[in-house]
């Protein structure tokens, strides 16, 4: 039976057997699920190799995607050596599993999501024997590693750029998650013709913002969700909250997620005496996240300024825009490329006073909140998943 053609697409790609691989917890990763489920909806068969979430690896099916967990759990810490060891172990197990799938069912496409880039070597056997290989670059490794591990070593940066070129050279197609990131990769010598730009979009981007947004009550709820990390400025938000609670009645800051610095953030909250104003909500299943976020009055992104964050279009910002939540964001290149002063409330990166002023201005001006919600819809109209999915389909058609 011939698969249905996606609305707006000229033709449908022939049915393919796809092995997707990512060092991630599949159920909680919106981007990889979105792409995998889209491929299934177009008639492709998808097996996803992911991290183990529980005490034992599981094999299960979710929304048509067959998920095979490998016996490696995600490492969350600050040891470079342990990060590398975890990556290497996952890559080895993924290589074995992917090779077995290829020999058993002739996998035609291996679609690898970084980090790390060298995870593409898990698809080496299919690549050598005629399969097609895609590298999906969520984060550029040279910039991300330099900021994550606090090193400015030219030697390390050169080695990471060499690793990037080798891995991109091995792949038939490369996917970048925004245009600023694509420019950086092309400037390092990666052929532009191999690159497709597919903006990271959550599945609930198609939700009706006006239908999800709650009526604003007496309390003013500010939210941040995702990885709890100092490099993403969570400590800056907490310090701003310590000042805002004196100026905004019934102020609440809701923090969803976990990460390397959760304990440090908890201690900071205690030392500032604001534990009653900060709600640590933990990890919420991806499918339940829209309902949780829709109960908030404003969302905040607080990334510090560095070579990595300048290239980012934060997923949490897209989440807020898609759910009709006005956002407070740092003035960084990746964000300014897509959003204007009318669409979000900017503050100067790493400037707590500027952050506090932006939040307070949004709290005091309900009309401004409404204008941001309405004007930010222009981003969804131009870059929503309904448009992005055709780029993904095009990648598969052109393989």
Is the Cα dihedral 211, 321, 48, 394 positive or negative?
positive
Give the confidence band of 12 by pLDDT, cuts at 50, 70, 90.
low
pLDDT at 274: 96
Of 63-67, 103-107, 219-223, 234-238, the least confident: 103-107
pTM beyond 0.85, yes or no: yes
Task: Give yes or no for residue 205 having a pLDDT over 60.
Answer: no
1-10, 126-135, 196-205, 286-295: which has the highest mean pLDDT?
A: 126-135
Which residues, other chains included, contact 347 with Cβ-Cβ below 8 Å and sequence gap of 6+? 328, 329, 330, 331, 354, 355, 357, 358
Please state the rounded mean pLDDT for residues 95-110: 94
Distance of alpha carbon 144 from alpha carbon 150, whole angstroms = 10
Cβ neighbours around 183 below 10 Å, total: 15
Q: Is the pLDDT of residue 97 over 80?
A: yes
Give the model confidence (pLDDT) of 222-273 as tens digits: 999 999 999 899 999 999 999 999 999 999 999 999 888 999 999 999 999 9
| Domains, in order of start, for the chain | 17-201+384-397 (3.40.50.2000), 205-382 (3.40.50.2000)
> How far apart, in Å, are the Cα atoms of 157 and each of 14, 141, 309?
40, 9, 16
Residue 368: the pLDDT is: 95
Collapsing DSSP to helix, strand or coil, 33 comes out as helix
> What pLDDT, on the 0 to 100 scale, is given for residue 218?
66
**pLDDT recorded at residue 284:** 85
Give per-residue pLDDT as tens, 17-60.
999 999 999 998 888 998 999 999 999 999 999 999 999 999 99
pLDDT at residue 208 in the model: 46
More confident residue, 79 or 7: 79
Q: Is 25 helix (H, G, I), strand (E, B) or coil?
A: coil
In Å, how far are 19, 21, 56, 105, 387 from 100, measured between CA atoms? 11, 14, 20, 8, 35
73-77, 104-108, 133-137, 330-334: range with lowest mean pLDDT: 73-77
Query: Phi/psi at 12 (nearest 5 deg)?
Result: -100, 140
- Per-residue pLDDT tens over the stretch 162-173: 999 999 999 999
Instruction: Provide the mean pLDDT of the chain.
Output: 89
What residues contact residue 38 under an 8 Å CB cut-off, 6+ apart?
389, 392, 393
Cis peptide before 315 (omega within 30 of 0): no
Tell me which long-range contacts 389-394 makes (C-beta under 8 A, separation of at least 24).
389/6, 389/38, 390/6, 390/8, 390/9, 391/196, 391/197, 391/198, 392/35, 392/38, 392/39, 392/175, 392/196, 392/198, 393/6, 393/9, 393/12, 393/13, 393/38, 393/42, 394/196
Q: How many CA atoms lie within 13 A of 43 on its CB side?
A: 15
**What does the pLDDT read at residue 10?**
42
């Amino acid at each position: 039976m011939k698969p249905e053609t996606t609305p707006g697409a000229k033709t449908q790609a022939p049915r393919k057997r796809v092995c997707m691989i990512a060092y991630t917890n599949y159920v909680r990763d919106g981007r990889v699920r979105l792409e995998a489920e889209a491929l299934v909806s177009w008639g492709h068969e998808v097996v996803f190799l992911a991290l183990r979430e529980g005490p034992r690896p599981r094999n299960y099916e979710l929304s048509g995607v067959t998920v095979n967990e490998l016996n490696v759990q995600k490492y969350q810490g600050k040891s470079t050596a342990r990060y590398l060891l975890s990556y290497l172990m996952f890559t080895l197990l993924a290589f074995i599993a992917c090779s077995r799938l290829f020999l058993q069912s002739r996998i035609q496409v291996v679609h690898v999501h970084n980090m790390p880039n060298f995870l593409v070597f898990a698809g080496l056997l299919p690549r050598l024997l005629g399969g097609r290989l895609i590298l999906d670059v969520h984060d550029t490794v040279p910039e991300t590693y330099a900021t994550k591990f606090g090193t400015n070593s030219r030697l390390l940066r050169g080695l990471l750029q060499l690793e990037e070129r080798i891995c991109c050279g091995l792949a038939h197609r490369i996917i970048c998650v925004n245009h600023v990131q694509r420019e950086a990769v092309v400037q390092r010598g990666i052929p532009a013709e191999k690159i497709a730009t597919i903006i990271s979009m959550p599945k609930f981007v198609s939700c009706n913002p006006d239908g999800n947004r709650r009526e604003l009550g007496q309390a003013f709820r500010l939210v941040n969700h995702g990885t709890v990390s100092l490099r993403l400025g969570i400590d800056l938000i907490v310090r701003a909250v310590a000042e805002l609670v004196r100026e905004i009645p019934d102020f609440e800051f809701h923090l969803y997620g976990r990460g390397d610095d959760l304990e440090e953030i908890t201690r900071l909250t205690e030392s500032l005496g604001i534990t009653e104003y900060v709600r640590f909500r933990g990890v919420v299943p991806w499918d339940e996240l829209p309902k949780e976020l829709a109960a908030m009055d404003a969302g905040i992104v607080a990334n510090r300024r560095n070579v990595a964050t300048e290239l980012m279009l934060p997923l949490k910002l897209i989440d807020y825009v898609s759910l009709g939540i006005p956002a407070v964001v740092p003035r960084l290149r990746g964000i300014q490329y897509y959003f204007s002063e009318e669409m979000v409330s900017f503050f100067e990166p790493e400037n707590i006073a500027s952050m506090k002023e932006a939040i307070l201005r949004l709290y005091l001006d309900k009309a401004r909140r409404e204008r941001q919600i309405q004007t930010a819809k222009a981003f969804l109209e131009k870059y929503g998943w309904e448009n992005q999915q055709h780029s993904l389909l095009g990648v598969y058609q052109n393989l």
